[in-house]
């Protein structure tokens, strides 16, 4: 308690004057803080950021960061990182100091500590000299140390001329004792400030005029810390933050990207000839779209190279370059597809997408991470989203790109939208199983799987790489997962390069001891509800992963809408005597729905099971009731048909 | 920019010169190899190594590869040539694509990169590796990749290496040549059962050895297969006589000489109150785990000479070599005897004698400390003492006269689990007490040792992966500070919808054991390797609210596999403990080792028996 009072007393001058916190005050404030004050934080931070911009929104970012180590995990963070892009900015680390608990200050020369490296994107197949990383390892860190770094970033080019945007987080995944940001900008550039998801957390904002400049100051003290939960909803939907942007209308960003793309769309004779060749004889627009889409998706391999001239990392290369090298990243492939579609008479534009994210609608920014294509109908209305980055997708737009922000880059300008979420039947697994059970307890079983939507995409991307041996291995593995005693006797599958059909395959199994027995009973696996086993683990490890927690503090989201439609038939050699079948309780709760059916004949019976999940976003209050309801689905992973042995 | 112009100038004229020869090679290549599982066909590959008197060398590679499939296109279109710029350079002599019509397509200017590798980002002080990336344009099945490059190495150290004449795609033709001064002594190996043409010549003052294969088939990709060195067609060469020579060259550099006073004082501070050498080592191990940070490094790149001990001590971080050297210095300062540095060799190659017979630097996987039959790696906060992340491998330890041993951790890698299900009055509580060693101990420490209370609950839930349970109590980790002991932890779960009521029966699953062994294939081309031991002892107690009439399981189960020096077993015993309790004792032991392809069928039957889903079910009559 005393300590908290002390912290409040120390914070008092700052509470009154929301401004840059000088070093002596920072050290005094941080020195009094221990791990007991913030048991969920490994380190506590204080940041001072001062941005000074000219009339073109170019200038400097001066960032002072203080990090106090509270525990061993904080101590383990002994590396410091700074990154920059040589096309847009340069960066200098000016000071590094470690304030020890005994009052000693260790000054480290950044030139000795920091090492510059290329940012190598690893397996993503993007190569560039533009992105640089400075890495430094700090010596002899101890719990209680305060690490201070001061860095200057000089911005010499912006994505859009005279553009500035930033986010000031009130709620943050790290613990901030004090965070200050000052933006000093000519009054000719108006900044739009948006207070998003305000939950009443206290922060200060001041705006002052000084000559021809406007000075914006933002301060938050003892900022609330978000403790990350797997599958929690995205930051922009749940956290209190301030968006600062010089753009008032998304149309401006839409037009900017249109103009950035448009100059690269000039086709040459080779492209024209290829379009003519590919669309030759095709009558409908859909046919042409499919042909051109699948060609760009498959033939242009995902490959990122640099040397763009105007806005590297943002603009596409000339479509002729992408076409002739047969390589490009999302924006290159999107631009080439647009050029080819237009060549075929199909009106289209590139779209910017923020995959996995929903941007703040009120605050226009350029923070997109992907580019795809919009094809219009005859009236100029949006008709198809197409993403040629996914080299093997059957669907024009894979479902993992749903429920995220997009912006069509159009000549007239467009506004921000959200990619609509599919109905559950668009991502579906269809399965029929037929067990022919012999008197010796063995079964000749056949299984027929059909995958739709994202399930199709997931498998198709694997199967296109498969050799015969890979298929042998994959199907044998699947058979063994279905029943460890199973031997795969035969299989067949659709050609993954044939986009006209969904991925499907059939397995033929011989299961020697399909029916297990004890002295007095028979046990037959009731597989139809065992979705984990039958879904190649997608069900447990992906779709239902949000339900692993005991409770939730934040709203959460399902990864996908989906459905399973299963049917299993048991044919017995003899007439069935009295057997005990599992009783299946159905469900219809908050977007989750199940159905169960059972038809019995003389010596066979057929069961069917259906599950759908149609909702993506959930309130935290719904979590436990929903988890409890859905727990029957876990129970149904272990069901058996039981029969008494005749004496 | 200058660099690119250099590349382009270099590539274009040279590629022009070679073009006719290449067309001839492609035209004249005829092969009978099966391409059923191939993604590319190596039409022509020539690798030569020319070693100079001072041990510097040139390594020249020239290949023509035909792409056969989409996977081949994805895999080979972007060629990455890794090298260490401090002592290696790469020169690209020829690089272009040939289409199905025989037309050559050159690499455009910005399709060649020379970047730091990804590991440099994690440890830039110790790793200086670069990769030259060549993005071949327009590749499609049926196209050819042509590449010729020269790597020059000026490290001037004794050389050893392996050139594979079989890999995941077939070779229509491959030749490997090595030339070296006549007075150098080389040891070589290639498998005698493979169709390899070997020749030895003396040209001027050099010995020239070459190995040639035609129609060399691909190595089939099987789960748990042995290394290519064992099942493929490796040409192994080394100028080291044996592991004694190689081990000494590396390990002697770690021998502590004069111990600086500050280190001596600190070491004695830590160990003075300990009454045995082992306890002193434990104390030092804990001190290093908590206070030092081992930075990633490639041992061979940085050499085996540690940084100045005082600097390491002050920085509290260093390469594996630095931290090992400092630990040895602490041991010496504490007067602990019989402590040595150890080279831990590649596990997959340790299953064959060739690793022992041919000493090669490339076989060194890691560095550790050896003490009286135990191995440990100091400076890793999450590594339990005595566990080096490998259950069985070869090790070379010592200084002047290193010893080669086969190290086995198997039985120590034990997991003891106690589960108590309380099913009284629908409470459905599951109390769990665990005691884990080795890999599991490390895994849990990484995830939870430094986790804050709320985050611990969130991530532990996630780790358990149960959708039908919530944490009622815990998790409580009892002894994170005891790195030399098994890690003990406990928790209690509240289970929802756990018991299945079905007509006259009640049944439910008990906790399963995930074997993680892929035995789905009926037959194998190669032996089956188990790299990680499975050693689990379970006691499962189930408390019912009334008298239990058990209908399954109705007896004990025991499955044993004993062949190829691998003794594996599964034992299951169920008994009543009073009227309302049942107790299950379950034991599973599968050691690391090699199952020969001849005994694979038997082993598969054993694993299938263990995996039976019904083994994890309890059925009761209402």
More confident call, B216 vs B426: B216
Confidence category of residue A647, pLDDT binned at 50, 70, 90: low
Query: Does the pLDDT at position A577 exceed 80?
Result: no
**Are B524 and B222 within 8 A, CB to CB?**
yes
Contact A476 B520 (CB under 8 A): yes
φ, ψ of residue B3 in degrees (nearest 5): -60, -40
Helix (H) or strand (E) holding A457: helix A454-463
Three-state secondary structure of A222-278:
CCCECCCCCCECCHHHHCCEEEEECCCCHHHHHHHHHHHHHCCCCCCHHHHHHHHHH
Cα A185 from chain centroid? 34
- The three-state secondary structure class of B169 is coil
Contact B553 A518 (CB under 8 A): yes
CB distance A385 to A573 below 8 Å? no
Q: Which residue of A has its CA nearest to B450?
A: A73
ipTM of the complex: 0.93
> Tokens 């709203």, residue?
A555
Half-sphere exposure of residue A483, counting CA atoms within 13 Å on the CB side?
27
Q: Which residues of A540-565 are buried (b: 16+ CB within 10 A; e: fewer)?
A: beebbbbbbbbebebbbbbbbbbbbb
How far apart CA A138 and CA B270 sit, in angstroms, is 24
**Strands lying side by side in the sheet with A382-386:** A382-386, A370-376, A348-354, A405-408, A417-418
Judged by a CB distance cut-off of 8 A, whether residue A286 touches chain B is no
- Specify the pLDDT at position B580: 87
The overall average pLDDT reported for chain B is 94
Candidate from A337-351, A559-573, B419-433 with smallest mean pLDDT: B419-433
Interface test with A, best of B124, B313, B319, B609 (most A CBs within 10 A): B124
* Average pLDDT of span B19-23: 77
Q: Give dist(CA B265, CA A380) in Å, integer.
A: 81
Query: Please, where are the H alpha helices in B181-319?
Result: 228-231, 243-251, 261-271, 277-291, 299-302, 309-315
Is B467 in Cβ contact with A548 (below 8 Å)? yes
Of B39, B317, B611, the CB nearest to A467: B39
How far is the C-alpha of B546 from the C-alpha of B543, rounded, in Å? Answer: 9
What DSSP string runs through B279-317? HHHHHHHHHHHHH-EEPP--HHHH-SPPPPHHHHHHHSE
User: Rg of chain A over CA atoms, in angstroms?
Assistant: 30
Q: Say if A122 is an interface residue toward chain B (CB within 8 Å).
A: yes
Q: Which two tokens stand for residue A264?
A: 């690269």
Percent of chain B whose pLDDT exceeds 90: 89
Strand, helix or coil for residue A144 = coil
* B71 to chain A: closest CA residue: A465
A475-489, A566-580, A603-617: which has the minimum mean pLDDT? Answer: A566-580
pTM: 0.94
CA-CA distances (angstroms) from residue A590 to A558, A622, A624, A630?
12, 8, 12, 11
Mean pLDDT, chain A, rounded, equals 95
Nearest CA in chain A to B141: A299
Q: What is the pLDDT of residue B410?
A: 78
Q: What H or E segment, with its residue span, contains residue A75?
A: helix A72-76
DSSP annotation string for A22-47: -HHHHHHHHHT--TTT-TT-SEEEEE
Q: Is A473 on the interface with B (CB under 8 A)?
A: yes
**What is the reported pLDDT for A212?**
96
What band does A645 get if pLDDT is binned at 50, 70 and 90?
confident
Interface membership of B507 toward A (CB under 8 Å)? yes
Tens of pLDDT along B410-425? 778 899 999 999 998 7
Q: By the CB < 8 Å criterion, does A36 face chain B?
A: no
Sheet of strand A165-169: strand arrangement: A165-169, A241-245, A192-196
Tell me the residues of chain A between 423 and 442 that have a Cβ less than 8 Å away from chain B.
none
Q: Please answer whether residues B173 and B43 qualify as being in contact, where contact means their C-beta atoms are separated by less than 8 angstroms.
A: yes
Please give the angle made by the CA atoms of B33, B35 and B37, to the nearest 5 degrees.
130
Q: How confident is the model at residue B11 (pLDDT cuts 50, 70, 90)?
A: very low
Radius of gyration of chain B (CA): 29
Q: Kindly list the residues from chain B whose CB atom is less than 8 angstroms away from the CB atom of residue A129.
A: 113, 115
Cα-based distances in Å from B307 to A48, B36, B325, B326, B568: 37, 52, 9, 9, 46
Higher pLDDT, B509 or B579: B509
Q: How many CB atoms lie within 10 A of CB B195?
A: 12
Residue A84: which of A60, A53, A112, A119 has the closest Cα?
A119
The predicted-structure confidence for B595-619, as pLDDT tens digits, reads as follows 999 999 999 999 999 999 999 999 9
Output the DSSP codes for B86-155. TTEEEEEEEEEEE-TTS-EEEPPGGGEEEEE-HHHHH-TTT---EEEEEE-TT--TT-EEEEEEEEEE--
Nearest by Cα to B299 from B255, B342, B358, B240? B342
Tokens of A52: 């000074």
Helix, coil or strand: residue A153: strand
- Checking if the pLDDT of A103 tops 70, the result is yes
> What pLDDT does residue B248 have?
98
> Mind telling me how many Å the CA of A390 is from chain B's nearest CA?
13
Tell me the β-bridge partners of B374.
B371
What is the average per-residue pLDDT within A319-337? 97
Give whole-number Cα distances, A254 to A348, A370, B425, in Å: 14, 14, 63
**Residue B4 confidence (pLDDT) above 80:** no
A598–chain B Cβ distance below 8 A for any pair: no
Contact flag B619-A125 (C-beta cutoff 8 Å): no
Coil, strand or helix: which one is B467?
A: coil
Question: Chain B within 8 Å of A465 (Cβ-Cβ)?
Answer: yes
CB-nearest partner of A525 from B133, B502, B613: B613
Residues B267 and B332: their CA atoms lie apart, in Å, by: 9
Under 8 Å CB-to-CB from A324, ≥6 apart: which residues?
Answer: A270, B108, B137, B138
- Decide if pLDDT at B25 tops 80: yes
Residue B508 neighbours by CB distance under 10 Å: 20
Structure tokens at B604: 């598969």
Q: What is the pLDDT of residues A445-469, one digit of tens each?
A: 999 999 999 999 999 999 999 999 9
Contact list, A326 vs chain B (CB under 8 Å): 137-140
Contact between residue B242 and residue B359 where contact means Cβ atoms under 8 Å apart: yes
Tokens found for residue B404: 């080669």
Residue A576's pLDDT band, with cuts at 50, 70 and 90, is confident
Residue for token digits 């005698």? B192
A19 contacts A39 by C-beta, under 8 angstroms: no
Residue B290 touches chain A, beta carbons under 8 Å: yes
Q: Tell me which residues of chain A, numbers 128 to 167, contact chain B at a CB-CB cutoff of 8 Å.
A: 128-129, 133, 135, 137, 139-141
Beta-ladder partners of B490: B433, B476
Residue pair A195/A64 in contact by the 8 Å Cβ criterion: no
For the stretch B379-420, pLDDT in tens is 999 999 999 999 999 999 999 999 999 999 977 889 999 999
CA of B452 vs chain A CAs: smallest distance (Å): 5
- Given CB atoms, is B71 within the 8 Å cutoff of chain A? yes
Comparing A253-262, A571-580, B77-86, B481-490, which segment has the lowest mean pLDDT?
Answer: A571-580
Burial environment of residue B568 by CB neighbours within 10 A (0 to 12, 13 to 18, 19 or more):
buried
Q: Cα separation of A240 and B58, whole Å?
A: 61
Nearest Cβ partner for B520 among A119, A227, A477: A477
DSSP B6-49: HHHHHHHHHHHHHHHHHHHHHHH-------TT-SEEEEEEEEEE
Q: Check residue A18 and give its pLDDT.
A: 59
pLDDT of residue A307: 84
Banded model confidence at residue B30, pLDDT cuts 50, 70, 90: confident
Degrees to nearest 5, angle at CA A570 with A564 and A572: 175
State mean pLDDT over A636-644: 94
What residues are paired with B202 via a beta bridge?
A: B207
DSSP annotation of B578? S
What average pLDDT score do residues A128-138 get? Answer: 96
Mean pLDDT of B330-358: 97
Distance from CA of A145 to the nearest CA of B (A): 14
Cα A435 from Cα B600, distance rounded (Å): 29
pLDDT of residue A8: 47
B555 or B269: whose pLDDT is higher? B269
Contact present, B520 and A480 (Cβ < 8 Å): yes
Determine contact, residues A317/A332, Cβ cutoff 8 Å. Answer: yes
The pLDDT value recorded for residue A6 is 47
Average pLDDT over residues B117-122: 95
Local confidence band at B77 (pLDDT 50, 70, 90 cut-offs): very high
The C-alpha atoms of residue B389 and residue B371 are separated, in whole angstroms, by: 17
Which of B10-24, B224-238, B516-530 is predicted least confidently? B10-24
What is the Cα–Cα distance from A140 to A113, expressed in whole angstroms?
13
């Amino acid at each position: 308690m005393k300590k908290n009072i002390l912290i409040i007393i120390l914070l008092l001058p700052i509470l009154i004057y929301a401004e840059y916190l000088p070093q002596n005050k920072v050290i005094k404030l941080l020195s009094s803080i221990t791990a007991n004050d913030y048991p969920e934080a490994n380190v506590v931070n204080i940041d001072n950021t001062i941005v000074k911009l000219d009339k073109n929104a170019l200038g400097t970012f001066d960032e002072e960061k203080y990090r106090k180590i509270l525990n061993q995990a904080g101590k383990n963070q002994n590396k410091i990182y700074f990154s920059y892009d040589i096309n847009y900015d340069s960066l200098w680390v000016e000071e590094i100091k470690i304030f020890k608990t005994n009052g000693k200050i260790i000054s480290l020369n950044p030139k000795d500590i920091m090492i510059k490296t290329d940012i190598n994107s690893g397996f993503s197949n993007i190569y560039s000299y533009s992105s640089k990383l400075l890495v430094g390892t700090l010596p002899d860190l101890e719990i209680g140390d305060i690490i201070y770094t001061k860095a200057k970033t000089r911005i010499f080019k912006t994505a859009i001329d005279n553009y500035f945007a930033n986010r000031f987080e009130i709620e943050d995944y790290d613990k901030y004792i004090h965070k200050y940001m000052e933006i000093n900008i000519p009054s000719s550039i108006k900044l739009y400030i948006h207070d998003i998801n305000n939950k009443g957390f206290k922060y200060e904002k001041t705006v002052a005029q000084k000559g021809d400049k406007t000075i914006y100051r933002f301060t938050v003290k003892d900022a609330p810390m978000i403790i990350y939960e797997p599958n929690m909803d995205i930051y922009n939907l749940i956290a209190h933050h301030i968006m600062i942007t010089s753009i008032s209308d998304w149309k401006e960003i839409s037009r900017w990207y249109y103009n950035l793309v448009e100059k690269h769309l000039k086709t040459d004779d080779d492209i024209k000839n290829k379009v003519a060749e590919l669309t030759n004889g095709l009558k409908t627009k859909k046919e042409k779209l499919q042909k051109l889409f699948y060609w760009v998706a498959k033939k242009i391999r995902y490959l990122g190279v640099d040397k763009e001239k105007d806005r590297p990392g943002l603009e596409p290369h000339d479509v002729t370059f992408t076409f002739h090298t047969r390589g490009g990243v999302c924006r290159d492939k999107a631009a080439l597809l647009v050029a080819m579609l237009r060549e075929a008479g199909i009106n289209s534009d590139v779209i910017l997408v923020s995959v996995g994210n929903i941007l703040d609608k009120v605050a226009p920014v350029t923070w997109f991470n992907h580019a795809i294509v919009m094809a219009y109908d005859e009236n100029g209305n949006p008709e198809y989203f197409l993403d040629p980055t996914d080299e093997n997708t059957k669907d024009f737009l894979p479902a993992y790109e749903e429920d995220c922000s997009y912006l069509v880059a159009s000549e007239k300008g467009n506004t921000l939208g959200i990619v609509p979420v599919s109905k559950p039947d668009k991502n579906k697994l269809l399965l029929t199983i037929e067990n022919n059970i012999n008197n010796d307890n063995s079964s000749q079983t056949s299984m027929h799987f059909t995958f739709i939507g994202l399930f199709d995409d997931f498998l198709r991307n694997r199967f296109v790489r498969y050799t015969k041996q890979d298929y042998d291995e994959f199907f044998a593995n699947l058979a063994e997962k279905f029943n460890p005693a199973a031997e795969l006797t035969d299989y067949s599958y659709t050609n993954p390069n044939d986009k006209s059909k969904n991925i499907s395959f059939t397995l033929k199994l011989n299961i020697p001891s399909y029916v297990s027995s004890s002295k007095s009973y028979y046990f037959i696996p009731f597989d139809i509800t065992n979705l984990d086993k039958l879904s190649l683990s997608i069900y447990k490890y992906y779709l239902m992963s949000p339900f692993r927690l005991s409770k939730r503090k934040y709203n959460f989201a399902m990864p996908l809408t989906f459905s399973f439609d299963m049917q299993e038939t048991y044919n017995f050699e003899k007439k069935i005597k009295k057997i005990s079948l599992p009783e299946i309780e159905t469900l219809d709760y908050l977007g989750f729905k199940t159905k169960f059916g059972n038809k019995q004949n003389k010596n066979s019976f057929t069961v069917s099971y259906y599950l759908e999940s149609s909702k993506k976003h959930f309130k935290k209050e719904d979590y436990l009731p929903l988890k409890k309801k859905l727990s029957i689905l876990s129970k149904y992973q272990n069901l058996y048909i039981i029969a008494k042995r005749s004496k | 920019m200058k660099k690119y112009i250099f590349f382009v100038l270099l590539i274009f004229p040279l590629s022009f010169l070679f073009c006719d020869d290449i067309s001839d090679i492609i035209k004249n290549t005829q092969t009978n190899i099966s391409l059923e599982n191939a993604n590319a066909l190596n039409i022509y590959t020539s690798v030569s190594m020319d070693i100079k008197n001072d041990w510097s060398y040139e390594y020249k590679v020239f290949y023509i590869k035909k792409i056969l499939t989409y996977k081949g296109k994805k895999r080979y279109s972007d060629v990455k040539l890794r090298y260490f710029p401090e002592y290696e350079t790469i020169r690209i002599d020829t690089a272009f694509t040939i289409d199905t019509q025989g037309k050559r397509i050159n690499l455009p200017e910005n399709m060649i990169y020379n970047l730091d590798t990804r590991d440099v980002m994690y440890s830039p002080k110790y790793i200086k590796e670069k990769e030259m990336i060549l993005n071949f344009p327009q590749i499609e099945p049926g196209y050819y990749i042509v590449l010729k490059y020269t790597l020059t190495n000026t490290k001037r150290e004794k050389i050893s290496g392996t050139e594979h004449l079989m890999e995941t795609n077939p070779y229509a033709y491959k030749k490997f040549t090595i030339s070296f001064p006549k007075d150098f002594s080389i040891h070589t190996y290639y498998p005698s059962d493979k169709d390899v043409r070997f020749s030895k010549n003396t040209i001027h003052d050099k010995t020239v050895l070459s190995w040639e294969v035609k129609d060399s088939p691909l190595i089939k990709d099987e789960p748990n297969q042995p290394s290519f060195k064992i099942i493929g067609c490796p040409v192994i060469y080394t100028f080291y006589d044996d592991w004694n020579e190689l081990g000494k060259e590396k390990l002697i550099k770690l021998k502590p000489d004069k111990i600086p006073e500050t280190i001596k004082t600190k070491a004695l501070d830590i160990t003075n109150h300990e009454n045995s050498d082992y306890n002193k080592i434990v104390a030092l191990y804990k001190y290093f785990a908590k206070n030092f940070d081992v930075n990633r490094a490639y041992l061979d790149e940085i050499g085996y000479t540690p940084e100045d001990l005082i600097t390491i001590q002050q920085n509290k971080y260093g390469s594996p070599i630095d931290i090992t050297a400092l630990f040895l210095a602490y041991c010496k300062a504490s007067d602990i005897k019989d402590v040595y540095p150890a080279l831990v060799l590649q596990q997959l190659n340790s299953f064959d004698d060739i690793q022992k017979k041919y000493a090669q630097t490339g076989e060194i996987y890691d560095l550790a400390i050896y003490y009286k039959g135990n191995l440990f790696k100091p400076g890793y906060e999450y590594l339990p003492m005595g566990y080096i992340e490998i259950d069985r491998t070869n090790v070379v330890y010592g200084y002047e006269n290193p010893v080669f041993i086969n190290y086995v951790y198997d039985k120590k890698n034990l997991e003891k689990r106690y589960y108590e299900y309380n099913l009284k009055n629908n409470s459905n509580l599951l109390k769990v007490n665990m005691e884990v060693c080795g890999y599991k101990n490390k895994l849990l420490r990484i995830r939870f040792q430094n986790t804050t209370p709320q985050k611990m609950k969130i991530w532990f839930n996630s780790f358990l992966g149960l959708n039908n349970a919530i944490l009622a109590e815990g998790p409580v980790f009892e002894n994170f500070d005891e790195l030399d002991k098994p890690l003990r932890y406990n928790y209690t779960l509240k289970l929802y919808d756990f018991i299945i009521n079905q007509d006259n029966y009640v049944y439910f699953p008990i906790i399963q054991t995930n074997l993680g062994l892929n035995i789905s294939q009926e037959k194998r081309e190669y032996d089956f390797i188990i790299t990680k031991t499975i050693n689990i002892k379970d006691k499962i107690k189930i408390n019912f609210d009334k008298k239990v009439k058990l209908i399954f399981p109705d007896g004990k189960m025991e499955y044993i596999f004993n062949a190829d020096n691998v003794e594996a077993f599964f034992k299951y015993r169920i008994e009543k403990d009073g009227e309302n309790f049942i107790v299950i004792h379950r034991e599973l032991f599968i050691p690391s080792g090699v199952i020969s392809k001849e005994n694979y069928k038997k082993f598969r039957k054993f694993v299938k028996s263990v995996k039976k889903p019904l083994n994890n079910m309890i059925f009761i009559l209402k």
